[in-house]
Structure 1
Amino acid sequence: MKKQLVLGCFAAVLFAGCAKGKPTEIEVKLYNASGDKVGTAKVTQQTSGVKVSIKAEGFTPGAHGIHIHEIGECKAPDFISSGNHFNVEKKKKHGLLHPKGSENGDLPNVIADGQGKIKADITAPQVSLKEGKTTMHRKDGASLIITENADDGMTQPAGNSGKRIACGVIVKKASDIKKEKEKGK
């Protein structure tokens, strides 16, 4: 009886803790400038940061830049609504190769194969789905952007990576969540 009671209490505490916290895995739908779904990205909290697993298609073969942006919004056709790269301290410069340190949202390039398909696993060590300074669960949310060209890792402000060609909301803006609740979604 004691064993069942202890296990029951443990399960209740575990469940309550999970229910209160932010999700540790989010599926992000990626859309192109025409509004067509081109793939998904699974964003998962890891001990080393956030893992981004991408499966997408319809891209020009070759390297493409990918970044986490500061606003959880993807208005086509240019996705400018997603704002700048996620940069918590606003002191860092763009680029994984920049000597002064990179922005939180800077990620390594992804490669589209000969058929235009991207399949990649990337670790983003400077962001989190957990509460704290680098969380993407902020009032403005966060989004994932893929660009037309490779990111050179240095050029300001976006690595000379060209147009934003695909976007997906990782975490919605607080104002959008509020509107959805008011509409009963």
Structure 2
Amino acid sequence: MRATLPAALILSSALALTACAAGEKTTPLPADEPPPAAGMTDGATEDDAVEVTRAELKDADGASRGTVTIEDVDDGRLAVVVEASGLTPGFHAVHLHTIGKCEPNSVDPKDATKKGDFLSSGGHLGEGDHPDHAADLPPLLALKDGTASLRVVTDRVDSDTLLDDDGSAFVVHEKPDNFANIPERYASGGADAETKKAGDAGPRVVCGAFLPE
């Protein structure tokens, strides 16, 4: 009397033969190979990134608070890489601003009645309302020791815009960014004009200027 193979084994073998007949191949990823970094295109890795520009981050007293680097990743995408220290623990809004100036106690170029730290960097890059500016980025999370790291890929802005005649700036704000998300249950009209400018992120506490060569 012949032994019979289990039905599940027969079905598995049949499926495998069908796949081979169709020319299909499945190649498992090596167990130690990490997944691609978020925002990378096929075939692109962090090692492929080319540095476009770099700025030192400073507070209003002129103390160094780290660096921000812009990298050309692939296919018109830029990576913003931040390494910071000396921040208040918690979330901080971060944005790209229109002018490459990081002057403490400076005047807003569009409103001479306004004066404050790093106002010389101007408003956000891009048209429209927050959070749809080209400048708007995810928040930066400072740890208990005040250090923070961020790497985000964006296709909202290009290197020509960042490094135009007057450059641009990377600004860290004192408070978190609410992304102008004010539900109607809190305010019948939603976010007001002031909130739509910068998400109620508060004063500018750290700044780094990107300047054309």
Q: Which runs of 5+ in 2 are unaligned?
A: 1-49, 106-116, 181-194
Cα offset, 1:139, TM superposition: 1.7
Cα offset, 1:49, TM superposition: 2.1
1:171 matched residue in structure 2: 211
CA distance in 1, matches of 2:154, 2:96: 9
Q: Which has the larger radius of gyration?
A: 2
2:154 matched residue in structure 1: 124
The alignment of Structure 1 onto Structure 2 pairs a total of residues equal to: 138
Q: Pick from 162, 165, 168: which aligns with 1:139?
A: 165
TM-score where L is the length of structure 1? 0.70
Identity of counterpart residues, as a percentage?
30
CA distance in 1, matches of 2:94, 2:168: 13
Q: Does the alignment pair 1:28 with 2:28?
A: no
1:80 matched residue in structure 2: 119
CA distance in 2, matches of 1:46, 1:106: 19
What one-letter code is carried by the residue in structure 2 that aligns with 1:144? F
Q: Pick from 43, 49, 67: which aligns with 1:40?
A: 67
**Runs in 1 of length 4+ with deviation above 6 angstroms?**
none
CA distance in 1, matches of 2:163, 2:89: 33
Q: Does the alignment pair 1:69 with 2:105?
A: no
- Partner of 2:198, secondary structure, is coil
- Partner of 2:120, secondary structure, is helix
The answer as to whether partners of 2:134 and 2:157 remain within 8 angstroms in 1 is yes
What one-letter code is carried by the residue in structure 2 that aligns with 1:161? A
The answer as to whether partners of 2:163 and 2:210 remain within 8 angstroms in 1 is no
The answer as to whether partners of 2:65 and 2:85 remain within 8 angstroms in 1 is yes
Root-mean-square deviation (Å):
1.6
TM-score where L is the length of structure 2? 0.61
